[in-house]
Structure formats: structure tokens, C-alpha cells
Structure 1
Amino acid sequence: MTIELHTWNTPNGRKISVALEEMGLPYKVFPVHIGKGEQMKPEFLKISPNNKIPAIVDPEGPDGKPVSVFESGAILLYLGEKTGKFLPKSLGERIPVLEWLMWQMGGFGPMPGQVHHFIALEDETQRVYGLKRYSDETRRLYGVLDRRLADHEFVAGALSVADFAILGWAWRHERHKVSFADFPNVGRWYDTLMARPGVKRGMDAKLD
């Protein structure tokens, strides 16, 4: 049956459309216009109590019963478990996937997200301070990723949900004022992923 993807055209939304395409799961997009506050509607809060996109509803969840999942990292882990794809079964191989997924969720998302916020501010004093603070940290995180990818094709060894999570934010590198010329390993990894048919479909999926 078809998974419901409740989302908007954001980095966190793209993580899930890419994963669904790569995993070959049928899905239907239900746009949640965050600019109009649709994420606060009672019907959406039933499946995403933190009023954030994305969220999914799987009619064929555990034991064949419907289930809803919110938080993009949790959704990626759920989909990986459901399909057995892009999430290793052995604990040893799973550890780096979990490490890099948590790295994205805890840093490479919140920090670039602050860059997005401060770029848009009109108050120049607040804008300059905040933009420098979070831009510096965002570049540091790109550096961490670049060093990791110097001797790894993908962040956790084999292609995994951690790559999909990080890709959603690396997709906005131009908005972060980051050039891949400064982080060539990230650029190579990004181009490799973006050339995959499933990733292309996920990136082209209409989410708004």
C-alpha cells in the first residue's frame, strides 16, 4: 500500500522523498504549507505532535497495522528497518550509520538552519553577529564531513540512510554560502549521490 508523506519542500522533506525513491516504496505527497501555518492544524498534529514536517503514515506498519512516524531521523530508521535497505543488520556495520545520522540531526541541520534564519534578517546588527557565528560552525561541520569522505565513498561505508539525511542539507550548500571547491570530498560524494536515479526522482518529487 502507499505511504503518505506529509511534508514541504525543505531539506528535511527531501531526505524522505529520496529515501522512499531509493527504497522503491510507493508514496503519495500531502503538502503541508509551513508558510501558511498548516503544520499547526489539528489533523497534522495527530501524526506530528511537534508540529514539524516531515511525517509519514504507513498503512502497513508493524504487524500489518497503520502507523505514523514523525521526525526525519526516526522516519529514515523506520523505513530502513521496514525494507531492510540502507540500514545494516549487524551492529558493527550499523554503528557508523547511526553515528552519522545523529551527527546530521544534531548539527548538520540545526546549524545551517540558523544560517538560513540570519541571512533573512533585516536588522543588520543581529544579522552580522548571528550569520558569522552559525556560518563558521556550518563550515566547520562541512570540514568534518570532508575529512570523513576523504577515505570513505559514503559516510558510513556502504550507502545508507545517513547519506540521505546529510544530502538533504548539503543540497542547500549554495544557500549556506559554501562552495564545494573548499570541500572537494563532499563535492565528489554529492555528485555521486545526485547521479543516482532514485535520488534524482526524490529530488524532483513535488513536495509543495
Structure 2
Amino acid sequence: MIDLYTWITPNGLKVSIALEEFGLPYRSHAIDITKGDQFLQDYLVINPGGKIPVIIDHETGITLAESGAILLYLGEKTGRFLPRQGAARHHTIEWLMWQMGGFGPTLGNAHYFLTAGQAPFAEDLIRRDTRRLYETLNARLADRDYLVDDYSIADMAVWPWVSRFQRHKIDLNAFPYVRQWYLRLAARPQVKYTIPHFTSEIPQP
């Protein structure tokens, strides 16, 4: 059994999607970050960093924070959605790191700056970088159904961030391959169960 401590953020949702996809038994515990639950002493014992998500795998005794590390761990544990060797493995990790190091942090800033309307310089910088990252993702998906050869933890990591495209001031019709990929993953039962509705209405082509 795995205990998952999480909230409905992109980083939290990608671990929820993964646990459903891997078919592992787990229990979810809501850590309401809007109320500061992540800084309560009981939670800081589990994760001194005061962030979500965290898992406790009672089968192995491992407690693990950081969503990317959790996805890698679950892939290693199950032998699924993470190739065991070869170029596909390295490219899966590459695109997971792309999400962790660029896509996620930039879009996280977009959630704040592009809705606040109080910092024109920062807004312009983040708007341009957000578009650049969507262009990168669109180019990657131009000739493939998934980020690497098959559906993987990299797709699970990127999808919840794209689901907030409206907050990024992005028209998905401008990125048709991202749009197709987004809808393809949204149709998966495990994703539907974890996120039972679209964060934003999907524009018609």
C-alpha cells in the first residue's frame, strides 16, 4: 500500500495519474496548500521541505518527495511506463527533466504573473517563454503520438501542466499537435478518473 499526500496542483495530479496508470493500491490524503497544511508539524515530519506530493511506500519502507523522483521510482518499481534500457529510457528521462526544469517552473510563474496584471516586464518575459515551450512541445509531437516511443511517465508529467493552458494565455489551436496529444491522453480512463473534467474548455479546431 502507498500513502499519497497531495493537492490538486499539476505536480500533485501527475502522481495521482501515475498511481492509477500503474494500478498500484494507494490511499490519498489531502494536504490543502491554500490553508497552509503543508507547513503543519505532522506533515513536516514526512517532508521537511513543506511541499506536495509525497508518497510513503509501505511495501519498501521508502518515503519520497518531489514529483519527478516519485515518477521515476514508480516506473522502476513496476517496470512500466519507463523503458528499462536504451535510447528510449534516456529520452523518457530527458523529457521528464524538461518538464521539471523548464515547462513546470515557467508555467507555474505564468499562473501568477499572467493573471495579476501588475508586472509588465515579468509578464512579457514569461509570456514569450511560455509560448517558446509550447512550440517546443508541439514540434516534438509533430510526428509521434507520445513524447517518446510509447506512453510514459514523461507524458504523465507534462499533461497536467498543459491542462491549465487557459491560465497560460495559450490557444491550443495554435499548437495542433499538442492539442491532439492532450485529447488523446484525456481519453484514457485513468486520467478521466483522476481529473474528471477539463480544467478549461477545449477549443474547437
Whether 1:103 aligns to 2:103 is: no
Q: Check conservation: 2:114, 2:168, Cα contact below 8 A.
A: no
Question: Which position in structure 2 is the counterpart of 1:174?
Answer: 166
In structure 1, the gaps of 5 or more residues are: none
- TM-score (normalizing by structure 2): 0.92
Q: 2:28 maps to what in 1?
A: 29
What whole-Å deviation, never above 9, does each CA across 1:79-114 have from its counterpart, x for those lacking one? 111111100111322011000000000011100111
Task: Indicate which of 97, 122, 126 corresponds to 1:130.
Answer: 122
Q: Residue 108 of structure 1: SS of its match in structure 2?
A: helix
Contact 1:112 1:135 in 2 (8 A): no
Shift of 1:167: 0.6
Which residue number in structure 1 is paired with residue 188 of structure 2? 196
Structure possessing the higher relative contact order (Cα contacts under 8 Å, 6 or more residues apart) = 1
**Residue 184 of structure 1 corresponds to which residue in structure 2?**
176
Give, in angstroms, the shift of residue 120 of structure 1.
4.4
Counterpart among 74, 91, 94 of residue 89 in structure 2: 94
Q: Mapping of 1:1-208 within 5 angstroms?
A: 1=1, 3-61=2-60, 66-121=61-116, 124=118, 126=119, 128-204=120-196
Q: Distance in 1 between matches of 2:115 and 2:179?
A: 26
For 2:103, what is the secondary structure of its paired residue?
coil
Paired positions, count: 197
Quick check: 2:146–2:181 contact (8 Å CA) kept in 1?
A: yes
Q: Counterpart of 2:170 in 1: which secondary structure?
A: coil
CA RMSD, 1 decimal = 1.4
SS in 1 for 2:5: strand
- Provide the rounded CA distance (Å) in 1 between the counterparts of 2:16 and 2:196: 9
- Structure 2 unaligned runs (5+)? 198-205
Give the drift of 1:22: 0.8
Moved over 6 A (4+): none
What percentage of aligned pairs have identical amino acids? 48
Q: Secondary structure of 2:143's partner?
A: coil
1:154 Cα shift?
Answer: 0.4
Mapped to 1, the partners of 2:87 and 2:110 lie a distance apart of 35
* Whole-angstrom CA distance in 2 between matches of 1:58 and 1:51: 19
Contact 2:114 2:127 in 1 (8 A): no
Q: Structure 2: how far apart are the matches of 1:5 and 1:200?
A: 19
